[in-house]
């Protein structure tokens, strides 16, 4: 972490007069929304505020007396069992289900934002990132007078947990190749490769909803979880059948949502990654393990200013899917 901090400070002094350098970005104004917590069922309000250069993405628990701040960082993640949770385990403080909002911020290339939240989880909204991208569109994006830094991957790093794998290797821009495999015929085997050029996330990934099986939802509710889950904010399957009357938003919505989750989880690196991620049945825990493995090896990465060429690395067929 010292390496990232030191290099970020150094590159903050880099001139933005170079026409190929991408600038940091924040919001033009504050904006908020309210929704239901997936697990608590409570009504929750969040407000996104513009933030200064090099602020990063930081959550503030406004419902607590001290209003503690929690940077959205992989080393501040305290739980990955059902979602990605930030917080302080010693004090029993958490901020759960951050991944959909984080994916929206990553997809919009927002570097600096302060997020006020008055409960212990981000509202699930419709189960995708689209409502958060709508908020960003409503207020607009402001470029800041400092270069955006990225973590450039220099060598391949791989993790394996109970047969679920994730690997990151050098590459131009940021790419995710994801494969899932479920016994349910409604999902089966799906694979998609996405090169996150400018605009690709909103166009092809952001609307993909979280999903689960009816028997799992019933079991979680018996354990006091998923109290806010419904067909309005998740794709629910019963065996081989999709229970949502409107059906799927994409034929391969399931793998698209797993890519959405991965993008949000990996944005907790503190800045965008530059490289290719290949994942098989990965989830929040494996995504977090991958960041820990990469950023614990100082020979595996370097922090560099982001180049505009990385935003438009692929001009044709940015999304390839097989199911």
Nearest alpha-carbon partner for 198 in 29, 49, 22:
22
Decide: 111 and 271 in contact? Cβ < 8 Å.
yes
Decide: 48 and 111 in contact? Cβ < 8 Å.
no
Q: Residue 114 — very low, low, confident or very high, per pLDDT cuts 50/70/90?
A: very high
User: Is 261 marked within a binding site?
Assistant: yes
Per-residue pLDDT, averaged over 218-244, amounts to: 87
Decide: 256 and 250 in contact? Cβ < 8 Å.
yes
Percent of the chain with pLDDT over 70: 91
Nearest alpha-carbon partner for 244 in 218, 209, 215, 204:
209
Nearest alpha-carbon partner for 252 in 193, 166, 314:
193
Residue with the bigger pLDDT between 102 and 2: it is: 102
Confidence at residue 320, expressed as pLDDT on a 0 to 100 scale: 52
Residue 215 annotated in active site:
no
Lowest mean pLDDT among 141-145, 169-173, 212-216, 254-258: 212-216
pLDDT digits (tens, 9 = 90+) for 99-108: 999 999 999 9
User: Is 257 marked within a binding site?
Assistant: yes
Q: Residue 220 — very low, low, confident or very high, per pLDDT cuts 50/70/90?
A: confident
- Taking the C-alpha atoms of residue 34 and residue 12, their distance in angstroms, rounded to an integer, is 35
Q: Residue 313 — very low, low, confident or very high, per pLDDT cuts 50/70/90?
A: low
Strands 189-195, 211-213: pairing is: unpaired
Question: Left if phi > 0, otherwise alpha if psi is -120 to 50, otherwise beta: which for 226?
Answer: left
Per-residue pLDDT, averaged over 53-66, amounts to: 97
- Residue 58 clears pLDDT 60, i.e. is over it: yes
Every domain of the chain and the residues it spans:
23-321
pLDDT digits (tens, 9 = 90+) for 153-202: 999 999 999 999 999 999 999 999 999 999 999 999 999 999 998 899 99
DSSP assignment string, 124-152:
-TTSSSHHHHHHHHHH-EEEEEEEPEEEE
Angle at 141 between CA 138 and CA 145, to 5 degrees: 165
Strands 69-71, 174-181: pairing is: unpaired
- Residue 16 clears pLDDT 60, i.e. is over it: no
Per-residue pLDDT, averaged over 215-231, amounts to: 80
Residue with the bigger pLDDT between 317 and 92: it is: 92
Nearest alpha-carbon partner for 93 in 109, 117, 74:
117
- Locate 179 and state its tokens: 């494969």
- Domain 23-321: state its class: alpha beta
**Cβ-based burial of 126 (10 A; exposed 0-12, middle 13-18, buried ≥19):** middle
Laid out side by side, the sheet with 113-117 consists of 31-36, 43-50, 113-117, 57-61, 69-71
Confidence at residue 216, expressed as pLDDT on a 0 to 100 scale: 85
Confidence at residue 318, expressed as pLDDT on a 0 to 100 scale: 43
User: Is 232 marked within a binding site?
Assistant: no
Q: Which of 39, 49, 55, 284 is catalytic?
A: 284
């Amino acid at each position: 972490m010292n390496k990232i901090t030191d290099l970020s400070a150094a590159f903050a002094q880099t001139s933005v007069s170079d026409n190929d350098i991408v600038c940091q970005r924040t919001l033009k104004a504050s904006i908020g929304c309210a929704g239901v917590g997936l697990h608590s069922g409570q009504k929750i309000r969040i407000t996104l505020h513009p933030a200064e250069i090099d602020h990063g993405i930081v959550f503030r628990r406004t419902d607590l007396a001290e209003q503690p701040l929690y940077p959205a960082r992989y080393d501040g993640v305290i739980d990955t069992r059902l979602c990605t949770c930030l917080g302080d385990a010693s004090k029993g403080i958490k901020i759960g289900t951050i991944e959909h909002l984080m994916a929206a911020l990553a997809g919009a290339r927002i570097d600096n934002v302060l997020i006020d939240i008055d409960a212990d989880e981000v509202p699930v909204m419709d189960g995708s990132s689209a409502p958060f991208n709508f908020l960003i569109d409503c207020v607009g994006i402001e470029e800041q007078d400092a270069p955006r830094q990225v973590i450039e991957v220099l060598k391949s790093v791989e993790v394996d947990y109970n047969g679920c794998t994730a690997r990151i290797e050098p590459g131009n821009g940021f790419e995710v190749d994801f494969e899932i495999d479920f016994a349910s015929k409604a999902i089966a085997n799906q694979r998609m490769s996405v090169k996150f050029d400018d605009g690709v996330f909103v166009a092809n990934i952001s609307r993909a909803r979280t999903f689960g099986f009816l028997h799992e939802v019933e079991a979680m509710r018996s354990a006091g979880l998923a109290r806010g889950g419904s067909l309005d904010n998740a794709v629910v399957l019963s065996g081989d059948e999709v229970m949502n009357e409107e059906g799927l938003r994409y034929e391969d919505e399931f793998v698209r949502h797993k890519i959405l989750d991965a993008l949000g989880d990996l944005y907790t690196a503190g800045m965008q990654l530059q490289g290719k991620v290949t994942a098989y049945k990965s989830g929040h825990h494996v995504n977090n393990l991958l960041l820990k493995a990469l950023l614990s090896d100082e020979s595996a990465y370097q922090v560099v200013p982001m180049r505009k060429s990385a935003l438009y690395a692929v001009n044709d067929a940015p999304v390839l899917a097989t199911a």
